Chain A
């Protein structure tokens, strides 16, 4: 059989946004994949050079529209590093709680999308979506809006937490703790799910290091690396965080790492609420003129739900001279040819789903 070249996307039911893949197929076997990106390019890095410091968070947030709070925090932390602003202890705890909530929401959505990519149209997806909505309600309570929060301020947050927020979080965590085994039951006792994920799209430990993938994709391949443990920020070292690592490196391991991380996040949130000190979490209010940066160059790395993000800021007095972002998704996407080559055509889409890409973050 001759090789057929198929154009998948940018409009296709399961490409997670606007990515175009040029796939060479020999019968049912994938021979080569060439990703074409740039269809969601918005020039965020260039835009940042023309804005004042605290005008930028709304742009950085929309890079990863599935986990906006994480990017919000990563950018503000970079500016704080440039200005040598310290974050109050209560604000550190609150930030950790909000970030972990965001991580749970993002991972749930990822598992839901993964079900869709495996051809189980919308059942698992809708269940995950409903549970994610409960988390979004909490974030709305804390930040005022459902998707794009712009909640971080220099040295703290926009507002302190509302009065009964902690109780609501604990209730939701109890609910989540009951829900997670239901997902695990539903998925891992399904023979077709196991058949289609185990041993598919294997990324070995060495290849994972060579390709530079990060986040759950890296930890599923047996590399024990997590920014929260290797370069702890805020109070992660006090909360005794341990990364979840699996050895197999296949689609199932990538899904499973996300499930385990949801459970770890629940534990982190619980202990953070137990240790939450009194005080004020409020940061500096937004004014057009901010304090002048002290450091010319500052680099901050953060563990986002999808991998390690690094922000590189060259500071001018009132606005960035250059903001450069290392996007975890961009580098994870580069692994797709390595993962899906030689596999079945049907597995290409589940492998793409297991990388959990957000094209806004890839294209910036």
Chain B
């Protein structure tokens, strides 16, 4: 495959496809630095915000002691967790148990690298990017199942069963909504989906049913309340993380915020016009601001809802979300595609 063909197939941005090898390298390093710093700062901020906002809702103060406004509390917690011993339970499958969590984190970081952050800040611009992202994402429940089952804990075992059931209930509505989006934009390319939404033609307004389905399903996919059935602290202690000891638990917390970042950035791109916005804000910051607002809404949902029961959650998925997402496809076709 020659360079032009490869470029047109992958639609590689100018600073990677053309030019000399030095500018290519600089581009790659710059990209990795910007994305990893953004991702870490975003995760840390959301972790702190979550504690503060939920504390406000509950008439508490939240962390105040370490650093200004308790800003360093999460760092202190992280240090404490990392300083502890990593115990693998005797009846766990050592290999699977210790591999699943890092693999989960690696997969979510891989997806983070596939997302375009601005017209210029993107690693690759795949024609089928959206499809790849959700293919990889559907491995998450399976890996959680492996982690839970290999720990040999009975609470984790119940959590593993729930994990697979969530996969069955909420994967299909997500894919159906994505199909409707792809029908509108004429492809699975994320950049062209963002381009389509220029000038407040946000999909959240054009396709409200699809947005609601997608939001609910993403909450279920990333086990945020009210769908935190896998972790269910008041029933299953910590669900699939019950036997995970401190350093790995720190990894799990990091994974939690990685998924939060992933979910809100994807939602911002698909439904809120990505980096589109007023001209005086750089596109990249526009995307981050939108993602932060979406994370805020997810936190507020956590502070106020009760946990769904497994059978009810499944019924919501099968009886309401799947038919609604089919209706959404039909409406989208009639209004925008035909």
Contact = CB atoms under 8 A, between A and B. Distances in A.
B86 interface: no
Contact of B225 (A117, A119, A195, A345): A119
Contacts of B225: 119-121
A175 interface: no
A344 B310 contact: yes
A344 B309 contact: yes
A349 B235 contact: yes
Nearest to B234: A14
B308 A192 contact: yes
Kindly name the residue among A119, A122, A196 whose own CB sees the greatest number of chain B CB atoms within 10 A: A119
A122 B308 CA distance: 16
Interface stretch (B41-49, B154-162, B204-212): B154-162
A123 B234 CA distance: 14
A195 B307 CA distance: 11
Contacts of A334: none
Contacts of B304: 120, 123
B58 A192 contact: no
Nearest to A4: B154
A184 interface: no
Interface string A189-206: 010110110000000000
A4 B153 CA distance: 11
A347 B60 CA distance: 29
B159 to A, nearest CB: 11
A6 B234 contact: no
A13 interface: yes
B284 to A, nearest CB: 35
Interface in A1-30: 4, 6-7, 12-14, 25, 27-28
A126 B58 CA distance: 6
B306 A118 contact: yes
A225 interface: no
Given A123-B303, A127-B59, A195 B235 contact: no
Interface in A196-228: 196
A345 B235 contact: yes
B306 A192 contact: yes
A116 interface: yes
Contact of A190 (B57, B58, B305): B305
A344 B311 contact: yes
Contacts of B243: none
Contact of A192 (B54, B59, B226, B233): B226
A106 to B, nearest CB: 20
B311 A28 contact: yes
B157 A196 contact: no
Contacts of A193: 306
Interface string A116-136: 111111110111001000000
B237 interface: yes
Interface residues of A, number: 33
Contacts of B59: 126-127, 130
A18 to B, nearest CB: 15
A123 B305 CA distance: 9
B234 A119 contact: yes
Interface in B241-262: none
Contacts of A25: 158
Contact of B309 (A120, A130, A196): A196
A14 B232 CA distance: 11
A7 B58 CA distance: 32
Interface in B135-162: 154-155, 157-158, 161
Interface in B9-23: none
Contacts of B233: 13, 119, 121
B161 A27 contact: yes
A56 interface: no
Contact of A119 (B54, B157, B232): B232
Contacts of A13: 233-234, 237
Nearest to B304: A123
Contacts of A14: 234-235
B338 interface: no
A349 B236 CA distance: 10
Contacts of B310: 28, 344, 346
Interface in B33-76: 54, 57-60
A41 B106 CA distance: 50
Contacts of A346: 232, 235, 307, 309-310
Interface in B280-330: 303-312
A122 B233 CA distance: 12
28 contacts: A6-B158, A13-B234, A27-B161, A115-B306, A116-B234, A119-B235, A119-B307, A120-B225, A120-B306, A123-B57, A123-B58, A123-B304, A125-B58, A130-B59, A190-B305, A190-B306, A192-B226, A192-B307, A192-B308, A195-B309, A195-B312, A196-B309, A344-B309, A345-B235, A346-B232, A346-B235, A346-B309, A347-B309
Interface of A: 4, 6-7, 12-14, 25, 27-28, 115-123, 125-127, 130, 190, 192-193, 195-196, 344-349
The 7 closest A-B pairs by CB, nearest first: A119-B307, A126-B58, A14-B234, A192-B306, A120-B306, A118-B306, A346-B309
Given A196-B309, A344-B310, 17 more contacts: A13-B234, A14-B234, A28-B158, A28-B161, A28-B311, A119-B233, A119-B234, A120-B307, A121-B233, A122-B54, A122-B58, A126-B59, A192-B307, A195-B309, A195-B312, A196-B308, A347-B309
